[in-house]
Every structure is written in structure tokens, then in C-alpha cells.
Structure 1
């Protein structure tokens, strides 16, 4: 993800220098924080972290939604719009980037539970001829390896020119074309012999869903997850460039001292089933609570989702099937995912004992190097405080 941010930053600098018709806005806004009148744990540390995100880290605005057995809490800091200085709406919708992956993985695992897909079958069975070549190795890639990022398939974002997107942000990007960009390059490793995060894996997972069900991945997410859980603030747009409902503007910063660029509106087909969804803090928390609580998957499939492998990250992060685990400073694990997409960064987590937390900052790329760490700290602090106040 760091490499992706650097590439986006470089392309943005070129685009701004070339006079690309994007709205460049300046200003950092004032820092605010608010919360509902509900009692509970001392929230001073959460306020401090949110304010740090909108001051030291440079984000225009930030939001945290915490849900546990005692209720929900919303905290905000900074502004939704650097021009109007409007505060961040407490019911904000925003692009969730790779937090889309747990939704997609859940649909695939539901199909596994229905005996329509086999986790350890080759992808070739469901998508014949889509992942060809390289001495036959790619034909051995399994569904499990896609979901766990152990396929070795290159990430198409490593080879996509972000300036092309910036020059025509509303253009449709065909999923098969994006996959082919990645497959034109050699694999990072033989299937099953390593771990490497690749957005191409989840484009292929979305294609698999469509092949097996006859409906798009977004339609299946809506039918199987959004509607049953009543996630009214969640959507899987195909080409729609607008974010429905109240939302902060999404900004990018092409360089350390460069003005902010408003990239709220763009066509999410460039992210697709790897990162194209829109949601809210409340809806993401409800989804994660239902997922780790066993309401969306049968026990066998949930166990498979939670069978992790190390990623090599210094913080001990381990990756399952579209769901990653980290250790909490107060003990135990939490489950979730992060998300980066033009204009927004998110971090989410849930514990099996009923706590969920989601943090959003409306700046990506372009925040400080500490932005992601501070977001992770906010999620962990929220989950630990939620544990301490649960009855």
C-alpha cells in the first residue's frame, strides 16, 4: 500500500503540473471533535488520536464509529470540506477501498457453503482461460489462494498509470482489461509458496462470483449481505461516480507542500471488487459484527476465513480469507481490514466478544507517514475501551 501511495502521489504531481482539470483546494480547516451524550469509558485518548489525524497527520477530517454491547459512539474531528469548513457529518458515507475485500470473500465463502465453489479447486475450473500461461503454474492457482493473497498473481496497480485515471477520472475501466495488465507480467512467486497482497486476486474473485451465480459481484453482495443486514448506507456502485447521502469531500495531496486536490467524484470501476464499495462507520461495524459473530457464514466457512498465515508485518498482522487479524494491546485478537482509495483511508476491526470500530480520514494519498499507524491505534483504543465498559 505504501508503494501504491507513492505512485499516486507522483502521478498527481505530474497531473497538477500539467494543468489537469481537477479542483485543487487549499486549507487545513479547524479541528473539532464531538460525541453523543452517552456515557462510558473516558474518551480522551480517542479524541487525542482523532485530533492528531487532523492536525499532525494533515487530514482535513476524521470520523470514528464505535459499537459495543452498551451502544454506539461517534467521534469526529476536522472538516468535511476545506472550502466551507463544514464539520464531518456523524452519519458520513465514504469510499471504503479494500474493506470491500471481506464483503467479496464472504460471498465466495457462502458459495463454498452451498457447494457451488470449492476452496481448493483451481480457478481455471470457474474461469477457464482467464489466468493462463507461465509453464502451467497459473493454472494451478486455487480459489483459496486468491482470497488469501498466496497466488503470486501480480497487482495490476503496480502497472497501472495513475495519471491515466486523473486525466479521465469518470471513465469506465473494464475488469478483464485490468486483470490482463497484471497477467502480462511474471508472477511474484509460485502459487502457494509465498504471501503477497494483490488487488488482482479480488478482481478475479469478483469475476468468479459472476460466473458461478450469473449476477455481478455487487448484486450478490447486495442480495446476500447488504439487504439481510439492512445496511442502508452501503452500496457497490459499478460506474456511478457520486457518493450518495451525507459525505465528506475526498482529498489527495500530490506532495508534502502541495495544495489538496478534490477527487471525491471518480468512477470506481478502476477498483471494482478489489475496492469499489461505499459505506459508513455504522454499516461497516454492523457488517463486521455479523461476520465474526457467525451470522453470515456457516461455522466451517468462518473457520476457513479465520485460518490465517503470517504476512511478515512487524506488528504480527496475519491474513485469512479476506480478513486479517492483529493483536490488541489489552489482550486477544481483533479481526478486520483496512482500505485505501483516492480521497479516503479507512481502518476497521471487530472482536468476537461484540466490539467493532471503524475510522475514516478523508485524505489518501498525502497524509503523514504516521496516518495509518494513528488510525490503527484509534481502532485498537476504541476496541479496548469498548471491552472495559461492556457489561
Structure 2
């Protein structure tokens, strides 16, 4: 029987990142996935890597800032090791301003960002500008009071990031796709799989997306999260690679380097099926065309719908499940998973193996003590 230091259930972006962090610390790793790598919520189209607004600063915003700041190094190392491009680029973000209230708030945040984002040191800024630095992106008439211009934001192609992580892990760990997890006998260190086979593991991590909340409820009798449906689409359109992400009224428009433009996404708490809905997608596209007319007429080449894990207390959940000694969890990234997954994984490894690795401060609102209180 194969023996591992750690087994991970779920090969979405959190599970992949935990597997990489564990391997990089010298652990023997098994990654268990009932379908294929990143085939659920992690298979989205957007890839917006967005910081929190620099106001009312707290540990959560600091964690995400540090994650986005260090992500470029993580991506560069991953691409070098695998030869797989992830479509990552720090392009910044533009947000139109069309009410005095929004402008006043943005000006206040602009001042605070100098301190919170350490602009003098990092170069990242959150400024109000009168005109877009990029001609007709977005259309000038959509922002009579100017734009918020954030230079920290970035983009990546979610599917390519997952493909690069798979390429890195496949020759280095045991990857078990199309393999269902049944249960973990913690005392014996036995992981029981759906086909009746078993493997040995010192620790088990649940990173099974929104479906993992049912596993956690079975273990703790507590319902600490649910799934939120998202939908997005991709257009075939060649645009300059340096164009920033645009965000307005809940809609993102992202020009990827592979000649596609992603538009989305919804956040549907109430849903009855996982499939895309054409009227919803068309409504998003119509709204996007209003502030980016260049999109009009571009053919839709892909549609996506998925169920993203969201904890009831909003923030991600990371740590040892209460009442257990070797059963851990990393889930609940919702919309920000691709930007923080590497740092979530490193923080979890600090808890599982405190003897190595750079120590990372985990916000109190990310801990099991907070979510299970």
C-alpha cells in the first residue's frame, strides 16, 4: 500500500496549490480528484486578479495584497519549470466614475492607498485620472468624472494556470483523477477511495470546492458554506495585450493574450442547475458593450457556468478541522481564489509542518476557530 505524508481531496486551484506547496517542502503527496483537474469552479474564463479597495484596512486586505504582490514571482517560477504560459500579466484595472459620490470615495481611497499599498516602495498606486490611459478602453462617455486607475491588479488565464500546475505536479506527485474520496480513518491513517482501494496518509486536506461543505457538515454537524453560481463568456477578438481589466457595475471585461476577451460574471446564490443560461449571458454582454463598444459583433466562442465555494462568514477557511488531529481544510476562495491560492497553501503548510518555510500571518477571519464559532 502506498504511503503519503499528505493526501488532498479536490484538484481545483486550492487543491493544486496545496499539493505544490507540500511537494516543495519535501512531502510525499497524493492528489485525489473525482473528475479531472480544475474541472469545476476553477475552470472559469475570467482570471481577474483584483485587490481589495485600500480603505478600512484589515488583515484580510493585507493578506490579499501580499498574495497579489508575490504572485508574479510564483507564476514566473511555475512557467519556467513547466514551459507552460499562464497568460499572466500585471495590466492594472480601470473603473469608470460617473457619480459625485463615487468620485469623492475614490479620492479618499487614493490618499489612503499611498500608505496601505506602500506606493513609494512597491510602485503600486490607486489613483483617480481624468481620462483612460488607453484609447477607447473603455469608451470615454461612460466615465464623465474620470476613472479609478489601479496598477496592482493583474490577469491570468485560469485554465492555463491550472494546466501549468498540473504539468508541474504530474511527474512529481501521485495524481489520482477520476477517483472518488470516500472517508478518512484518522486513527489508522487510511484514506478510503470510492473504488474500494485505500492509501495511507499522515494528513488529509479537504479542498473539494462547494461540495466539500457537505463533507465538513458530516464531520462537524455544522453548515459553514454553500455554492454560489457564476456565469461568464469568451469572445474571439484580438486586442492589445497590455489593456487593463475593466470593472463596472459587477461586470468584468478582460482582454486575454490568446485573442479572447472574457466577460462576466454573475453571483447567483439561488440556482437550480449548473448550466449556462443564454439570457443571463446576453444581458452581461450587452452591458459590457455599453462601456466597451469594440466588443460589439465579436463572436462568442465559449460559455461557462460553475458553482464557487463561499463560506457563510465570507472569508476563506484554512486550518485544522475542530475535533481532529490530522484532518485539514482549505476552501471558500469564491471570486479571489486564483489570486490568493499560493499564499493560502503556504499558510496551511506552516500549520501542518511548522519547522520549515516562510511564516505567513493568517487573518483571524480565515481560521477554523472563527468559522466554526
Q: TM-score range by the shorter chain?
A: under 0.3
TM-score relative to the length of structure 1: 0.26
TM-score relative to the length of structure 2: 0.27
Greater fraction of residues in strand: 2
